[in-house]
Amino acid sequence: MLQTFVDTPSPLTPDHAPAPATTPPCAICRIRKMACCDGLFDGSPGRSLIKNRTRATAARQNICRAGEPNEGVLVICEGWAVRFIQLPNGKRQILSVVLPGELVSPAAILEKQSAFSVQAVTDVRYRYFTFAEVRAGILDNPALFDTWIRLTAAEHRSADKRLVDLGQRTAQERIAALIVHMMLRCEERGEVRDGEFPFPMSQQQIADFTGLTPVHACRVLSSLRHRAICNIGRGVAKIIDRGELERIGSFK
């Protein structure tokens, strides 16, 4: 797995080759300045990230499963991951998409047992912080406390928005909203060029996120493509008519 990650960067990994896991990756982390881990931990030498090894999981593999004891607080260093809940009948709901530099779930930071699973969308590099580190960091440092409050509140607002999405909006609106949302997040990271950005989610994953069947997700994507609004496929999203896409995807 690790070998896969180091030797065969997927088409979606940045031009700069990913660091081998033995190099302190945070030192060269492209998004370190915007990453939660930077604000949360790099300041205190004793708790610096650098001494923690990263791990890797190949695309489409699970990083952790609901019900397993948590190893600590999970942060994605590189690649896309999704947080999801699997039902006994085989259906699953993707709860959120996690990008590099983000905590997988700020609100679940002290949960000893996870209520959700996490899957790698692309090849992913990630690391854990121990509960003790995180708890002490937050209680020691009021600024960290506020940062963490802000992250938790943001995650919560985002969950509320998703509820509105799933409860009140059509298939097309949900898919457009997902594309717009990912576009904005990629834009912040400087990953959008000529209206194109990495979009590694499969149609099955898009369906699991939006609460649709893969077949219907495919039809909606075809329709968006056919109407020259955007073209999603092969790991890349190309936005053609941004105004129209945002109009469809925004709350009405």
Partner DNA sequence: CGGTACATTGAGAAATTTCAAAGTTGGTGG
Partner DNA sequence: CCACCAACTTTGAAATTTCTCAATGTACCG
Q: Which residues bind its own copies (CB under 8 A)?
A: 85, 87-89, 91-93, 95, 105, 107-111, 115-116, 139, 142, 145, 149, 152-153, 155-157, 159-164, 166-168, 210-211, 251-252
Residue 203 as a binder of DNA (CB under 7 A): the answer is yes
> Contact at 8 Å (CB) between 37 and 49?
yes
> Contact at 8 Å (CB) between 84 and 208?
yes
Strands 55-57 and 62-64: unpaired
Closer residue to DNA, CB minimum distance, 8 or 130: 8
> Contact at 8 Å (CB) between 144 and 40?
yes
Residue 219 as a binder of DNA (CB under 7 A): the answer is yes
Report, in Å, the least distance between residue 99 CB and DNA.
Answer: 19
Does residue 236 come out as left (phi exceeding 0), alpha (psi in the -120 to 50 range) or beta? beta
Residue 170 as a binder of DNA (CB under 7 A): the answer is yes
Quick one: the chain helix, strand, coil %, rounded to 5? 45, 20, 35
> Contact at 8 Å (CB) between 82 and 96?
yes
> Rounded to the nearest 5 degrees, what angle is found at the Cα of 12, between the Cα atoms of 11 and 13?
100
Residue 122 as a binder of DNA (CB under 7 A): the answer is no
> Contact at 8 Å (CB) between 137 and 145?
no
Report, in Å, the least distance between residue 112 CB and its own copies.
Answer: 11
Residue 108 as a binder of DNA (CB under 7 A): the answer is no
Binding part of the chain for DNA, among 38-46, 63-71, 103-111, 203-211 by CB under 7 A, reads: 203-211
Report, in Å, the least distance between residue 180 CB and DNA.
Answer: 17
Closer residue to DNA, CB minimum distance, 34 or 166: 166
Quick one: what does residue 142 bind among its own copies, DNA, none, with the CB cut-off 5 to 8 Å set by partner type?
its own copies
